[in-house]
Amino acid sequence: MTTSFGTGPHTVRLALTGDLDYDTCGELLRRVRTALDGRREVTDLHLDCRELELVDSMGLSTLLEIHRSAGRDGIAFRLEGVGPALRRLLELTGTYEYLTNPQRSGTSAGSRHGRT
């Protein structure tokens, strides 16, 4: 799995390539944390899944983890370019809406406390 960045002042965009599975999910989590670390002005986190291949249950667990911690920090999280296989997995598990709608979960966007 590889990631690449495209970042504006308020939006961090990571493009994911390859498999997101048991072996690679820890790496993605680290990269997202690094990308957000200390950047209080970030309001949006987008993961581009166009080049993403296989996603297993640990991969999905990781996407949920990123979504949850983004929500905790008041960052809107969104998956982009969800292909048919990933879409199928997300629909099967009832997480498609949750992960692809750019809605802010957890704390409101205005509250930026507790961000690490």
Partner 1 sequence: MTSSPARPRTGAVSTVSVASAPCPVVVLDADGHVAELNAVAGTLLPTARVGRPLPSPTWLAAADRTRPVPVTGTVGDRSFSAHPSVAADGRTVWWLMEETAYRSASAELEAERARTRFLTEASSALLASLNLERCMEVTARLATEHLADAALVIAPTAARTLPVVACDQRGELTRSTVSEAPDSVPGLAEALRGFPPVPSRWIDPATAPDWLIPAGFGEVGSLVITPLPGLGVPAGALILLRRAQQDAFSEAEESLAGLFAARAGAAMSAARLYAEQNSISDTLMRELLPPTLRQTEGVEFAGGYRASKDTERVGGDFYDVHPPGEDSPETLVVLGDVAGKGLEAAVLTGKIRNTLHALLPMADDHAKMLRLVNNAMRTSHHTRFATLVVASVRREEREVALRLTSAGHPAPLIIRRDGTVEEADTGGTLIGVLPAITSRTARVRLAPGETCLLFTDGVTEARGGPLGDTMFGDQRLKRAAAECAGMPAEAVVERVQMVTSQWIGDGRHDDIAVLAITAPRGAHLSAVDGATRGRYTA
**Least distance in Å: CB of 105 to partner 1?**
8
Q: State which residue, 8 or 83, has the beta carbon closest to partner 1.
A: 83
C-alpha torsion angle, residues 42, 15, 68, 88 (rounded to 10): 150
**Least distance in Å: CB of 8 to partner 1?**
27
DSSP secondary structure code for residue 94 in this structure: T
**In 1-116, where does DSSP find H-type helix?**
25-36, 57-72, 84-92, 96-100
The number of residues in the chain equals 116
Q: State which residue, 42 or 55, has the beta carbon closest to partner 1.
A: 55
End-to-end CA separation in angstroms for the chain: 25
**Least distance in Å: CB of 65 to partner 1?**
4
Q: State which residue, 29 or 35, has the beta carbon closest to partner 1.
A: 29
Which residues would be at the binding site for partner 1 (CB under 8 A)? Answer: 22, 56-58, 60-62, 64-65, 68, 91-95, 98
